[in-house]
Amino acid sequence: MSSNIQIPRICQHCNQEFIARTTVTKYCGPPCSKKAYKARERKKNIRASNEETLKLKLQPYEVLSKKEILTVREAATLLSISTRTLYRLINKGSLHAVNLSDRLIRIKRSELDRFITIP
């Protein structure tokens, strides 16, 4: 059952003027309606993908922030510096680390926190 009313509207997708037969019509026809639907779905998928990427980027920091003893690579990731810079800080004495053997250097979380808070 069609309506006899005619309401001048502007299409929300193509910005063309058209005559709507109902008060809730947003688009001038099926092509614009389909294109707007696809654009909405595309934006929704991009938003979901960005949220997932952000979650994966932050995941190592969440795991590392809970550990008490860190390797050099983990500490460098947490501080956002290179491992070479961290080794330099350890050799200079700015950051205290425990050398268990040639390849087993460990850093306490409390030492990292102390290093960050030094002015």
| pTM beyond cutoff 0.85 | no
Residue 3 region, left (φ>0) first, then alpha (ψ -120 to 50), else beta? beta
Q: What is the pLDDT of residues 14-48, one digit of tens each?
A: 999 999 999 999 999 999 999 999 999 999 999 99
Q: How confident is the model at residue 3 (pLDDT cuts 50, 70, 90)?
A: low
pLDDT at 59: 75
pLDDT at 119: 60
pLDDT at 118: 66
Q: How confident is the model at residue 1 (pLDDT cuts 50, 70, 90)?
A: low
Does residue 1 lie within any of the structural domains?
Answer: no
- Cβ 25 vs Cβ 13: under 8 Å: no
Q: What is the pLDDT of residues 39-88, one digit of tens each?
A: 999 999 999 999 999 888 877 777 777 889 999 998 998 888 999 999 99
3-state DSSP assignment of residue 58: helix
29 and 12 assigned to the same domain: yes
Domain interval for residue 39: 7-58
Say how many CA atoms lie within 13 Å of 38 toward its Cβ.
6
For residue 116, what is the enclosing H or E element?
helix 109-117
Does residue 2 lie within any of the structural domains?
Answer: no
The CATH number of the domain holding residue 112 is 3.90.105
User: What's the structural domain count of the chain?
Assistant: 2
54 and 74 assigned to the same domain: no
